[in-house]
Amino acid sequence: MLAVLALLITILTGTIPIASGASPISDLSYYAVYDPRTNCGVMEIRARINLEDLAYIEIPLNLFSEEAQLNLVNYTSSGDLLVLGVEENEKRVVALVYGTGELELLLYACDLLEELGVGAYSLEVSTEGLSSIALNVSVVLVFVGNYSVYVEAVKLEWSESKLDNFTLISFKGFGLARAALISSIELEEISPETSPEISLEHPQREVQWSVVGVVVGFIVVIGAVAAYFLVTRRRGGLVVERVDYLSDSGYRAIIRVLGDSGNKGLLQSEIVSKTGLSKSSVSRKLRRLEEEGLVTIKRSGKYNYVYLTEKGLKAYKKIVEEAAS
């Protein structure tokens, strides 16, 4: 009873602090089941909390790319944890809690992946900023479908496994990672009489492929991965297709809003809002425009700003002139 009265007095006097000092969360885990084809899924976040006083807990949602959308659907708690309120606010969830137990958040997730091509996707994960609020962090992503996975990680432990029609990638610790997912290709069975079988060792299993299948699959996978890392490491060095910005309304709209802004630089989310295009469409078109040398993307803090290049400004003037004629 006295504890409840103390809580009420704390709330009424407005002296509720943000949890600080020693990490208020012992274990923080992000678990998602996700379909790359629709670029949507669901995510559950579990936070093991131990607080002796009533305080606000902040759980970041910006672990993925800037375009990722995570929207809170519901929450529950277990143990002796008292939850007085939960609110989603600017890429984070803020909860007013007290006691010991587990807070469980259910979120709708979209645009965690960037499409690189047919059946090829990229993923970014950053847990660097979580070391101040949690002692242990894990991220588990279960993708619908069979994918070959390629990861570059800094300070993050990672593992990959497959089960039936699912591909699972796990990350632990505090750091950065970039991954490529390439859809597995099912090839027609070749008669044993015409083609001998060979085996390739895999960390989780042994896969039997025909000689022809190995060669074709190897070329497809290596080509897709090489394209991915060329694009991410050396922007503009790989031209996937020529951009016909004069005939495509989507390209024209993006160039137009960038030029109309005075070329002060826009966030991708601002371009989405101003053009009315979908996030995935803007992401793909910006990548093509960058490869063509029409836009450049500059990082400022944790945000990426898009600018027209000199070539892009010429395209903008041409589009404006055509609109006026």
Share the mean pLDDT of the chain: 78
* Furthest C-alpha separation in the chain: 83
pLDDT at 104 over 50: yes
Burial class (CB in 10 A: 0-12, 13-18, 19+), 49: buried
3 state SS of 167: strand
**Residue 241: inside a domain:** no
Indicate whether 24 and 167 sit together in one domain. yes
The answer to whether residues 280 and 220 belong to one domain is no
Q: Do 37 and 171 fall into the same domain?
A: yes
Residue with tokens 């609110």: 87
Domain extent at residue 226: 185-233
What would the pLDDT profile of 73-83 be if each residue is shown by its tens digit? 999 999 999 99
Our count of domains for the chain comes to 3
Residues 168 and 109 placed together within one structural domain of the fold: yes
pLDDT of residue 114: 87
Over residues 311-321, the mean pLDDT reads 91
Clarify whether residues 110 and 147 are in a common domain.
yes
Residue 50 clears pLDDT 60, i.e. is over it:
yes
List the Cα angle 71/281/257 in 5-degree steps: 100
Helix, strand, coil share of the chain (percent; to 5): 25, 45, 30
Query: Smallest Cα–Cα separation from 295: which of 283, 313, 320?
Result: 313
- What's the average model confidence in pLDDT over 250-266? 91
DSSP code, position 8: H
pLDDT of 147-187, one tens digit each? 999 999 999 999 999 988 999 999 999 999 999 999 875 33
Same domain, 22 and 155: yes
CA–CA distances in Å: residue 175 to residues 83, 159, 197, 293 = 30, 15, 41, 31
Neighbours of 139 (CB within 10 A): 25
Same domain, 23 and 53: yes
Tell me if 265 is assigned to some domain.
yes
Poorest-pLDDT segment among 128-142, 211-225, 255-269 = 211-225
The pLDDT of residue 282: 85
Tell whether 281 is covered by a domain. yes
Domain CATH number, residue 289: 1.10.10.10
CA of 306: how far to CAs of 163, 284, 298, 312, in Å? 40, 14, 7, 11
Strand partners, 69: 110
Does pLDDT of 127 surpass 80?
yes
Based on the number of CB atoms within 10 Å of its own CB, is 213 exposed (0-12), middle (13-18) or buried (19 or more)?
Answer: buried
Q: Does 221 lie in the same domain as 177?
A: no
* Residues 121 and 141 reside in one and the same domain: yes
* Confidence (pTM): 0.57
The CA distance from 266 to 264, in Å, is 7
136/51 same-domain check: yes
Closest among 7, 171, 23, 183 to 98, alpha carbons compared: 7
Q: What is the pLDDT of residue 247?
A: 75
In a domain, 81, yes or no: yes
Q: 31-45, 98-112, 176-190 — which is least confidently predicted?
A: 176-190
Is residue 243, in this structure, part of any structural domain at all?
no
Return all residues near 207 (Cβ < 8 A) that are at least 6 apart.
199, 200
pLDDT in tens, 51-61: 888 999 999 99
- Would the pLDDT of 34 be above 80? yes
Is there a domain that residue 53 lies in? yes
Q: Is residue 14 domain-resident?
A: yes
Same domain, 46 and 132: yes
Average pLDDT over residues 3-12: 44
Residues 12 and 141 in one domain: yes
Can you read off the two tokens belonging to residue 292?
A: 């063509």
Is 240 within the bounds of a domain? Answer: no
